[in-house]
Amino acid sequence: MSDAQYDCKCKANSLAIRGEILPQLDAQIGALLSSLQAVGTVDLSSAGVETARSNLELMAQLQSKDLTPMAKVEDRLVDGRFRTIPIRVYWPKAARDCVGVTVFYHGGGFVLGSISTHDQLARSLAHHSNSVVISVAYALAPENKFPAAVEDALDAFRYAKMVNWELCDKERGAAVPVAVAGDSAGANLAAVVSYLSRNDAHGQPDFALLAYPVTDAAHQDSYPSYLENSEGYFLTAKDMQWFGELYLNSPDEAEDLRFSILLAPDLAPYPKTLIVVAGFDPLRDQGVAFAKALKDAGATAELWLYDSMVHGFFSMEALVDKAKDAVKRAGEYLGQALLKATA
């Protein structure tokens, strides 16, 4: 199926209005979206929480045919301040050969997703970065409202900072770099943890990898990409509104920097950060704005735009060639950042 054949309901992109060349949707992405629409697994908000969760698990099974092998995978429980937090730890090679530890938070609008839906992505990041990856099953809404996910994310990061030497088979107290990573809602949590930990006794992450993050939910309808890509590209504006209603206790909490990190009054100091955005994504411009804000605050931030991709494309690597290449590139960048942190 060509890009032109894919039936998109979204509004005209502002680039086209200005007469510039509009990027085309990747052909493999278009075919995948058509297939998902045909089996009715795309409309998340209309399905309801339990059905949407089940649909996301089914979609993840498409990734499970050729799982990236690991040296070891282990499920653990972390005693958080408020809850017991399940985690899954991935060793891509012998522990003593790892370059550091990466704490990974899955996407899903703070409502959907799990360790299992993002199992392959966690494996890929571990493999390409040569870091031990901790995938975190933080508390989901609506059962656990804001800021439960943030609390769990921070507690899981603190756990990683305390046991990083053990995970990498080093002597107690050895300096082992720790990064945070996430996609979508998980990228929001990684960004927030990077900020909240700046005055923490355990210290900040050494690096942050943020794939299509939520950074300004309070003003999301002011961003052109939110309107341009409001429907037809997997994540819709309707879905985002639904997630916010389920996650927050009240609309006023959208202004809380623990949800809209772009509203933080001062982002310095902040770890070196890589932000990855997709062209056909309502969240695209929030990621772009956050990269600019970090640079304005004096932080080192790099922005990668995959203009033919849609929201969630990191989880499509088994079916989309460009997605597979993007995950590999980001994982390798993560590994290099951890190596430099120990230099």
Residues identified as active-site: 184
The CA-CA-CA angle for residues 77, 83, 85, to 5°, reads 30
Q: Is residue 71 a contact partner of residue 132, using CB atoms and an 8 Å limit?
A: no
The CA-CA-CA angle for residues 124, 126, 131, to 5°, reads 160
Tell me how far CA of residue 317 lies from CA of 66, 245, 309, 312, in angstroms.
11, 30, 11, 10
Give the span between the Cα atoms of 76 and 43, in whole angstroms. 33
Give the span between the Cα atoms of 23 and 211, in whole angstroms. 20
Give the span between the Cα atoms of 197 and 321, in whole angstroms. 36
Instruction: Give the chain's count of helices (H) and strands (E).
Output: 11, 8
Phi, psi of 40, deg, nearest 5: 75, 35
